Amino acid sequence: MARTVWDSTVGKKTVMAVSGLIMLLYLVAHVIGNLKIYFGAGEFNHYAHWLRTVGEPFMHYEWTLWLIRVVLVVAVVAHAVSAYQLSRRDIKARPQKYVHGRPRASYATRTMRWGGIILGLFIVWHLLDLTTGTVHSGGFQEGHPYQNVVDTFSTWYGNVIYIVAMLALGLHIRHGFWSAAQTLGVGSRTRDRALKTIANVLALLLTAGFIAVPVGVMTGVVS
Amino acid sequence: MTASAEYTDYTTGEPVADTKAPKGPINERWDTRRFEARLVNPANRRKHTVIVVGTGLAGGSAGATLAEQGYHVVQFCYQDSPRRAHSIAAQGGINAAKNYRNDGDSVHRLFYDTVKGGDFRARESNVHRLAQISVEIIDQCVAQGVPFAREYGGLLDTRSFGGVQVSRTFYARGQTGQQLLLGAYQALSRQIAAGNVEMHPRTEMLDLIVVDGRARGIVARDLVTGKIDTYFADAVVLASGGYGNVFYLSTNAMNSNATAIWRAHRRGAYFANPCFTQIHPTCIPRTGDHQSKLTLMSESLRNDGRIWVPKAKGDNRPPNEIPEDERDYYLERIYPSFGNLVPRDIASRAAKNVCDEGRGVGPGGQGVYLDFADAIRRMGRKKVEEKYGNLFEMYERITAENPYEVPMRIYPAVHYTMGGLWVDYDLQTTVPGLFAVGEANFSDHGANRLGASALMQGLADGYFVLPATINDYLARNPHQDPVTTDHPAVREVLAETEDRLDLLLSVDGDRTPDSFHREVGELMWEFCGMARTDSGLRKALERIPQIREEFWRRIKVPGTGEEFNQSLEKANRVVDYLELAELMCLDALHRTESCGGHFREESQTSDGEAARRDDEFAYAAAWEFTGTGEAPTLHKEDLVFEYVHPTQRSYA
Amino acid sequence: MKLTLRVWRQKNADAEGAMSTYEVDGISPDMSFLEMLDTLNEELILKGEDPVAFDHDCREGICGACSLVIDGDAHGPERTTTCQLHMRSFRDGDTIDIEPWRASAFPVIKDLVVDRSAFDRIIQAGGYITAPTGSAPEAHATPVPKADADSAFEHAECIGCGACVAACPNGAAMLFTSAKINHLNVLPQGAPERESRVLNMVAQMDEEGFGGCTLTGECATACPKGIPLVSITSMNKEWLRATRKSARS
């Protein structure tokens, strides 16, 4: 079955849909956590620490977190590899452009590939910035995420990278969520409106929720 | 080839008769024939190759069924895919004597209606078999997944059609032909995938190969590469459709052509009743000289639409401003019991008559109204939309007029040809091993075809009749010596074909193939169309050889024969139209009676109806080719009516 | 009307193609688009030039042969087939770009003519119900709910023209394939082959080199018969169902 799925364009789209939905689920949790920054360093740092102790005593320290990380890495890789392979196939299937060409599909639809690449690069930067601290500006402090976040959004480029990426994320989710529903066969004529609304609301809430953090830092509400 | 001697006349040869239909009660003949026909052992079938030319309802269903039986089928179509054959454009429906409505229908009634509708010029045995098989066709198509219209209870819906008083027409909105054809195409596709059918799309048959008096193959041109090749078989089946495109403007597809049947005729197959052409009453009128084809509006529209013209000549008011009492619903007036549902030939001629009186509407006065105002009032717009929506849309797209608000304008146009290759009860032509099915043969419709019967006949021939009868031929002619390209007969046909194409390419004149096609078409429409006269036909017979002579002097075909060359394809088809047109006119001239679609002005009743002359013309005219421009030989097949006694058709 | 046409000319499959410019005059708004091209071709023949090759046959919007991309739109600006497009949709003096369907699975044969045999092979892979002639039960033996029959019909309307592939930025044949699957799979007669049909047809579709679906919706917008985009969703569902089912058995 795995072979059938992976070898088929429809199957590979299923992989993308499922991995995309896993990431989406994670993002919903992520944005809720992020918003705790508005309640001060204490609450935010406490939440960050809790992430490592979730599931105790059943799970050992950080096991849950690592489990989530593994699932996410698998999802990201599956999503990206499928996207890469499908895109190559798509480009090969339509090698010649129309002389009289013009875009017609929605902006969100047309930017899925570039948006995906932007998001991929962003994730790398984001991890190096706030998880490992490799490219962090202003001295990365392990265990003090509140301060690290404030540092990042105190630089102009930190804000630009983040906000651009979050806008790309919004667009990506807008088409991606609805698209995943079609791929998984849950779309229908009667449900289409609801699915599109959910996609739009999700995209808007996630983008706004994530952007609220740098905005908070920039406006001084978070410092 | 350029010979252009005038037709002097024709000679009458020996009569021709069908020897295959068994005697005895008519309802037992088909069973008897199937029992008497020899069978080919299933294990031996794969050793037999059968060529099928055409992939419409008849060809597609024949190819699929023969392959299923185990024969090796080699099939051809000029289209890029077998799914595009012109059967796809049939709109209205398919008749079957299911009597699901309990309205008095039966096999016998369908048989009766068809013989009568054909104005008593069809062979009873064939028509009865058609009516019997009609029932099985619906079963077969439903099993294939053809999405016929259904009622809320989940059972099949039917509607009524011209020329009959029962509701026996099964339909799939206005796309019945498409759905039936896709069913046959899918069955054929299954056989192609199974390796039982070798399919050659974009390949056109250009001639028939006859070896030792038997049809053994064809010459065909690959339309992409231009390569001319020979293909051999134990039997050849022509399912190449009718020849309505002789008229240039018709409802046929642009590339539908008569080459396969005409070349077969030249090789010895008799051509029967070529003058029996059907002019369909409900087509969209032409808009100008640029017109390349005419579009049919399904006859089913006559179920609910009312046909009228203004009572006064030259009444130019918009239709909605003409008050009710100044309208002439002429079909309802002249034919009160059938009203707007009279057979096609009668409806067409009536339209011509009112237009000739100067009461026609639209540009050039070549049109009559088909009005849905009453239907919309009675059933509501929604119901009308449900029934005819796609037809209304099509009309609006072509004419830019909204038929929900303004009555449609319609005018008759060439639609179907009842004539075709003469075949016996087994659908075999006069060339042993050459069979003709569907519109390509002449067999079942006599002088006029009833609506929704073409689909029935095509599928009856292809699914049920031919697969049973061809066994008999193959069983009686097993293990023939294989034919090869070295055979002199083969070399000769191939050389003739190549010479013909080379000549077309080398004339390099100053007229296009289309210009000749248009010229001969207009001539035919004028003199061999809805009403024919002795003097008109003679004029046409004088003119056609002249056009032919001019053709070979002035034709211009660009490009070469070794490439995709649509002008060459066209020119080659026109060559055959220019010969076939002559035979059609001659047949029309010799048949001095009026019957069905053939209306001779000299032969009409006092109130202008067609007057048949059974004492002289109760026969099918089968013509034998003797040479281009030479007087052909007429072989008569006397038609015997044991069950439906000829009466003057009355639809009043 | 006077028009400037820019037409893709390509001698054969192996040749390089390019756009050529032609002027046509005296075009009537009542002409169909193909009759306009006929006019051009008549002039070209008389000038001794090669007429523009294009596929066409029934000219009443049902055979699916005609296949032109007009000003970047498959079948042109109206939602119909090229043969049913009339010149009244254009204005005097317009420049019109005419190109063939573009997809690597539809190689150009000449000028505007492409090879769509890949569609036939997709149907051959399973786009049928196995019902040998003569084996059919009485038609009324299996009633089909009207809603199912209507749904089957809606999808069966596909004319196989390939506009969906031409319009799709990925050259995908999902709409074509899904139309046939949805036509047959919704009917009780199609049920026995329901799983193998969708698996085999999708596999063949991939095999032919069509692209994948990114749900841009271009196909459904271009479809002259209005096959809806949700047809693809239903096919995906059928495919997943069949994949799960075949994994279990």
- N- to C-terminal Cα separation, chain C: 65
B70 Rama sector, left if φ>0, alpha if ψ -120 to 50, beta otherwise: left
**Inter-residue contact B162 to C168 (CB < 8 Å):** no
Q: Does C97 touch chain A (CB under 8 A)?
A: yes
Inter-chain touch A93–C104, beta carbons under 8 Å = yes
Strand order in the sheet with C68-70: C18-24, C3-9, C95-100, C68-70, C73-74
Task: Give residue for tokens 């069966």.
Answer: C156
Which residue is listed with tokens 């002579």?
B549
Q: Are strands B203-211 and B214-222 parallel, antiparallel or unpaired?
A: antiparallel
Residue from C14, C123, C193 to probe the interface with B (highest B Cβ count within 10 Å): C123
Nearest to B400 among C88, C115, C187 (CB): C88
The fold of C116-248 is: Fumarate Reductase Iron-sulfur Protein; Chain B, domain 2 (1.10.1060)
**Mean pLDDT computed over every residue of chain B:** 94
Best residue in A5, A9, A110 to probe C by mutation, most C CBs within 10 Å? A9
CA distance A87 to chain C (A): 8
What integer is the mean pLDDT of A157-186? 96
Residue B22 DSSP class: -
- Chains C and A touching, counted as 3 or more CB pairs less than 8 Å apart: yes
Across the interface, which of C169, C205, C232 has its CB nearest the CB of A94? C169
Which domains can be identified in chain B, with CATH numbers? Answer: 280-415 (3.90.700.10), 488-638 (1.20.58.100)
Measured between CA atoms, the residue of chain B closest to residue C65 is: B84
Q: How far apart are CA B145 and CA C160, in angstroms?
A: 17
Residue B649 has pLDDT above 50, yes or no: yes
The C-alpha of C15 sits at a distance from chain A's nearest C-alpha, in angstroms, of 15
d(CA C242, CA C249): 11
Q: Shortest CA distance to C27 belongs to which of C41, C37, C14, C15?
A: C37
Mean pLDDT across chain C, nearest whole number? Answer: 97
- Number of Cβ within 10 Å of residue B250's Cβ equals 27
Which of the four pLDDT bands, split at 50, 70 and 90, describes residue B7?
low
Interchain contact, C55 vs B185, CB within 8 Å: no
C125 reaches A (C-beta below 8 A): no
User: Which other chains touch chain B, taking contact as 3+ CB pairs less than 8 Å apart?
Assistant: C
Cα of C137 vs its chain's centroid, Å: 33
Closest-CA residue to B450 (of B85, B105, B93) = B93
CB of B238 closer than 8 Å to CB of B116: no
Q: Kindly report the number of other CB atoms within 10 A of residue B620's CB atom.
A: 25
| C-alpha to C-alpha distance for B309 and B366, rounded to whole angstroms | 11
Interatomic CA distance for residues B374 and B329, integer angstroms: 13
Task: State the span(s) of chain C assigned CATH 1.10.1060.10.
Answer: 116-248
In DSSP terms, B420 is beta-bridged to B272
Q: What's C210-225 look like in SS3?
A: CECCCCCCHHHHHCCC
Helix (H), strand (E), coil (C) string for B456-483: HHHHHHHHHHHHHHHHHHHHHCCCCCCC
Secondary structure percentages of chain C, helix, strand, coil, to 5: 40, 15, 45
* Nearest C-alpha in C relative to A91: C170
Of C171, C206, C233, the CB nearest to A185: C233
**A189 at interface of C, judged by CB pairs closer than 8 A:** yes
Q: Residue B175: how many CA atoms within 13 Å on its side-chain side?
A: 22
The mean pLDDT value of chain A amounts to 94
Interface confidence (ipTM) of the complex: 0.98
- pLDDT at residue B3, as a whole number: 43
Say how far apart CA A94 and CA A114 lie, in whole Å: 18
Query: C residues 87-146 near B, CB within 8 Å?
Result: 88, 109-110, 113, 115-117, 119-120, 123-125, 127-140, 142-146
Give Cα separations from B649 to B201, B332, B343, B425, B620 (angstroms). 44, 17, 10, 26, 19
Task: Retrieve residue C227's tokens.
Answer: 């096959």
Residues 6+ apart with CB under 8 A from B225: B562, B563, B564
Measured between alpha carbons, how far is residue B96 from residues B106, B171, B447, B454 in Å? 9, 11, 21, 12
Record the tokens describing residue B208, joined without a space: 């028939």
Distance from CA of C169 to the nearest CA of B (A): 24
CA distance linking residue A67 with residue A115, whole number of Å = 27
Q: Are B617 and B593 in contact (CB under 8 A)?
A: yes
C103 touches chain A (CB under 8 A): yes
**Chain C residues with CB inside 8 Å of A112's CB?**
214
Looking at the partner chain, which of C216, C237, C241 has a beta carbon nearest the beta carbon of A109?
C216
Biggest distance spanned by C-alpha atoms of chain B: 75
Provide, rounded to the nearest whole percent, the portion of chain B with pLDDT above 70. 98
User: What per-residue confidence (pLDDT) applies to B610?
Assistant: 87
Fold of A2-93+111-219: 3 helical TM bundles of succinate and fumarate reductases (1.20.1300)
Q: Do the chains B and A touch each other, judged by at least 3 C-beta pairs below 8 angstroms? A: no
**Is pLDDT of A69 > 90?**
yes
For residue A102, list its beta bridge partners: none
Residue C239 at interface with chain A, using a CB cutoff of 8 Å: yes
Q: Smallest Cβ distance to C61: which of B147, B251, B394?
A: B394
A54: DSSP letter: T
How far is residue B592 from each of residues B300, B535, B648, measured CA to CA in Å?
32, 12, 16
To probe the interface with B, which of C12, C38, C63 has the most B CB atoms within 10 Å? C63
Q: Does A93 touch chain C (CB under 8 A)?
A: yes
Query: Does the active-site annotation cover B344?
Result: yes
Residue with tokens 């679609």: B597
Read off the tokens for B473. Answer: 């031929």
| Interface contact flag, C110 B510, Cβ < 8 Å | no
Task: Say which of A102, A182, A192 has its CB closest to residue C236.
Answer: A182
Query: Tokens 């000749």 — which residue?
Result: B516
Cβ contacts of C157 within 8 Å, gap of 6 or more: B175, B178, C179, C225, C226, C227
Nearest to B506 by CA among B548, B551, B557, B578: B557
Helix ranges restricted to H, B269-342: 330-334
Residues of chain C neighbouring B468 (CB-CB closer than 8 A): none
How far apart, in whole angstroms, are the C-alpha atoms of residue A207 and residue A24?
12
Check if A59 contacts C (Cβ < 8 Å): no
User: What confidence tens digit (pLDDT) does each residue in B159-204 have?
Assistant: 888 778 899 999 998 899 999 999 999 999 999 999 999 999 999 9
Q: Residues 6 or more apart from C112 whose CB is under 8 A from it? A: C7, C8, C52, C53, C54, C55, C67, C68, C98, C99, C100
For an interface test with C, the pick among B61, B186, B191, B463 (most C C-beta atoms closer than 10 Å) comes out as B186
The low-confidence residues of chain C, meaning pLDDT below 70, are none
* Dist. CA B498–CA B491, nearest whole Å: 10
Catalogue the E-assigned strands of chain C.
3-9, 18-24, 68-70, 73-74, 95-100, 108-110, 113-114
- Does residue B2 register a pLDDT over 60? no
3-state secondary structure of B389: helix
Please check whether residue B241 is in contact with residue B462, taking contact to mean a CB–CB distance below 8 angstroms. Answer: no
Nearest to B222 by CA among A116, C12, C19: C12
Q: How many CB atoms lie within 10 A of CB A16?
A: 25
For chain B, how many residues are written? 652
Residues of chain B by 3-state class (helix, strand, coil), percent to 5: 40, 15, 40
Q: d(Cα B111, Cα B118) in Å, to the nearest integer?
A: 11
Are the beta carbons of B180 and B92 closer than 8 angstroms? no
Tell me the percentage of chain B whose pLDDT exceeds 90. 88
Q: Give yes or no for residue B5 having a pLDDT over 60.
A: no
Instruction: Give the whole-angstrom CA distance, residue B99 versus residue B116.
Output: 19
Element (H, E) at B266: helix B259-266
For residue A148, give both structure tokens. 């690290």
Check CB contact under 8 Å for C153 and B147.
yes
Shortest CA gap C79–chain B (Å): 10
Residues in chain C: 249
Distance from CA of C244 to the nearest CA of B (A): 25
Q: Residue C172 has what DSSP assignment? A: B
Task: Tell me the H-state helices in B400-512.
Answer: 454-459, 466-476, 488-507
Q: What confidence category does residue B479 fall into, taking pLDDT thresholds of 50, 70 and 90?
A: low
Q: Which of B109, B173, B286, B344 is catalytic?
A: B344
Taking the mean position of all CA atoms in its chain, how far away is CA C93? 30
The count of CB pairs under 8 A between chains B and C is 217
pLDDT, tens digit, 9 for 90 and up, residues B353-373 = 999 999 999 988 899 999 999
> Tokens standing for B107?
């096999």
- Is the Cα torsion angle C161, C164, C166, C171 positive or negative in sign? negative
Report d(CA B505, CA C99) in Å as an integer: 28
Segment A195-212 shows an average pLDDT of 97
- Contact state of C236 with A14 under an 8 Å Cβ cutoff: yes
Q: What is the CATH number of domain C3-110?
A: 3.10.20.30
pLDDT of residue B8: 62
CB-CB neighbors (< 8 A) of C48 in chain B: 556, 558
B622: tokens are 């089968």
C206: contact with A, CB 8 A cutoff: yes
Length, in residues, of chain A:
223
Take residue B331 and report the two structure tokens written for it.
Answer: 């079909």
Cβ pair C233:A101 closer than 8 A: no
* For testing contact with chain B, the best of C50, C62, C116, C201 (most B CBs within 10 A): C62
